[in-house]
Structure 1
């Protein structure tokens, strides 16, 4: 995804959310179904559990975003860390549904909405603060997904950014338009 210059906070926030959605998907594509559900130990989360948690958070935070608390009474956060969907296909449907909640909530917003008040767990946030909160949360978990996927893929891993020891070559390709920066 090519970086598009913008001074619009909302356009940039949406671009970052889309970038991390894609990053997580590209990482998950590189692992087997077994690896998607594997964890290091009983205290660690699998990729599937992390994705399930993100989905639960997204549904809660972004459904009726401007009118209801972002921590919905129907959300059972603890259940997000057990029993992920049983197949890759089901997990990816959930993943897509969660991200759809993000985009449906943010895409219609305007700059005038950024100062509106929303609540998360009873605490007041401006719309901008609520978006920033999730812009910090989701990339952290996508980073966990990437870390686990890279570990499990081993020498089959296809880099998601600038390849190791290839910065100069990558910069040359960006300068000549052969590749995009994102």
Structure 2
């Protein structure tokens, strides 16, 4: 495996882990929770999903041949309260990620240093992947935070539960051997 091939595999895996945090949050929420805003000026989870999906579909459709800010996208509208039922919000979520993963699967090592454009600004493909990883992790972090705030004491941790670090480390040693080998 080449460095470029390894990077693309790792990038896809990291994006899948970020998506998994959102999925894990959604499983804990009611439909009403998707539309709750914790402040007058804050976004609901549904609004954040609309924005993420709009960004993903725009950025990753024809990624190598057209600007990442597509004419069909209305970014400002993504931040308007969602009038869609939860199942359609989740369809948007899946469509965005599907568009991203399809694009990543079609990239080659040779593509990583090519220039693509986002809002007429040139980026190496490698740089664009990193830019979007940071953007998506940022917003999925907001989704997780909102979900945790909404659920309060009924929240089920999506990582190592508080107070369980030592137990987790011991389990990893048992599974992977003392030195990870």
Please say whether Structure 1 and Structure 2 have the same fold, judged by a TM-score greater than 0.5: yes
Aligned to 2:158: 160
Aligned to 2:35: 37
The 1:85–1:91 alpha-carbon spacing in structure 2 relative to 1, beyond 3 Å, is farther
Q: Shift of residue 64 of structure 1?
A: 0.5
The 1:97–1:123 alpha-carbon spacing in structure 2 relative to 1, beyond 3 Å, is same
1: CA distance, partners of 2:49 / 2:11: 20
Aligned to 1:117: 115
2: CA distance, partners of 1:24 / 1:177: 27
Aligned residues: 173
Which of 63, 72, 82 is equivalent to 2:80?
82
1: CA distance, partners of 2:175 / 2:32: 38
| Cα displacement string for residues 63-88 of structure 1 (whole angstroms, at most 9, x for unaligned residues) | 01000000011211000011325211
2: CA distance, partners of 1:94 / 1:163: 30
Which of 63, 83, 94 is equivalent to 2:92?
94
TM-score (norm 1): 0.91
TM-score (norm 2): 0.91
Give the SS at the match of 1:107: helix
More helix by share: 2
Q: Does the 8 Å contact 1:85/1:91 carry over to 2? A: no
| Consecutive unaligned residues in structure 1, runs of 5 or more | 1-5
1:52-71 correspondence to structure 2 within 5 Å: 52-71=50-69
Moved more, 79-88 or 122-131: 79-88
Aligned to 1:3: none
**Cα root mean square deviation, aligned:** 1.5
2: CA distance, partners of 1:96 / 1:26: 14
1:141-160 correspondence to structure 2 within 5 Å: 141-160=139-158
Q: Shift of residue 41 of structure 1?
A: 2.3
The 1:100–1:135 alpha-carbon spacing in structure 2 relative to 1, beyond 3 Å, is same
1:8-27 correspondence to structure 2 within 5 Å: 8-27=6-25
Give the SS at the match of 1:177: helix
Answer 1 or 2: higher relative contact order, Cα 8 Å, separation at least 6. Answer: 1
Give the SS at the match of 2:113: coil
